[in-house]
Amino acid sequence: MPAAPPRADIAVIGGSGLSTLFAGAEPVPVTTPYGDPSDLPRVSDIGGRSVAFLPRHGTGHRLPPHRIPYRANLWALRAIGVRQVLATYAVGSLRTDRGPGTLVVPDQLVDRTSGRVQTYYDEGAVHVGFAEPYCPRGRNTVVTTAVQRGWAAVDGGTMVVVEGPRFSTRAESRAHAAAGFDIVGMTGQPEAVLARELALCYTPLALVTDLDAGVASGPGVSAAEVLAEVARHAARLAELVAEVAATLSAQRDCPCPHAIAAFTLPVQLP
């Protein structure tokens, strides 16, 4: 009888820079009602914990932000047992005091995307609470661990998520800064709300790679600049993620597990 596929209780969603943590790990076959995920998750033992890695943009970074199968990704992770998610992003800063290399652990989100499917529940009145979009316990673990490791870590802030794949105009960037937003990215939504609809703990780790167009002088950010800064911090970020994954308590004493407890769900969750 073939061995059962591995399961995980923690997942890391992020870029290829984190793949070194999962070198040699076998992909886990998984299907979803929402099509294929960006890639098959790979499960490995990290610090005694079973952790899955899912490259958000797929192998070879082939999927742009607006084409990522967010629903399939989160569903696939829950289907293999995941209940806690660490999500890493490369973001632009809207503040000059939070430059490249800063790790921001935001506590708020503003959605400026368009056309992305934002829910699993197309029938029934399933109105999940989203006033606090991230897991407070997970955020605290990340901030504490990052500071201990010497990161310039910022506890809190607002991430505005734009549609992409283009970068912001200078006027858009200045408008975001004037509105009080701190960082800007392209992939943090609907990922966060879909995690909430699956009652998952979802914790953000946002690496600042550039000063956004309204903050910087000159032509503004380039893709090459972003990729170079990600590569510069990839090993260190992987070490941080590994320590956080090993440190996270298996006891989910936070509001996340109860997010959908009051509703009769129109779909059967895995």
Please tell me which residue in 9, 182, 210, 253 is annotated as part of the active site: 210
Q: How far apart are CA 139 and CA 156, in angstroms?
A: 9
Q: Considering only CA atoms, which of 139, 155, 186, 11 is closest in space to residue 84? A: 11
What are the φ and ψ backbone dihedral angles of 51, each rounded to 5 degrees?
-125, 135
Please tell me which residue in 107, 111, 212, 253 is annotated as part of the active site: 212
Q: Give the tokens for residue 46.
A: 């990290």
Say whether 39 is catalytic: no
Say whether 155 is catalytic: no
Q: How far apart are CA 13 and CA 86, in angstroms?
A: 6
Q: How far apart are CA 83 and CA 28, in angstroms?
A: 16
Cβ atoms 121, 260 nearer than 8 A: no
What is the torsion angle, in degrees rounded to the nearest 10, for the CA atoms of residue 142, residue 148, residue 149 and residue 151? 70
Distance of CA 258 to the CA centre of its chain: 20
| DSSP secondary structure, 217-255, as one string | STT---HHHHHHHHHHHHHHHHHHHHHHHHHS-SS--SS
Q: Which sequence positions are flagged as catalytic?
A: 210, 212
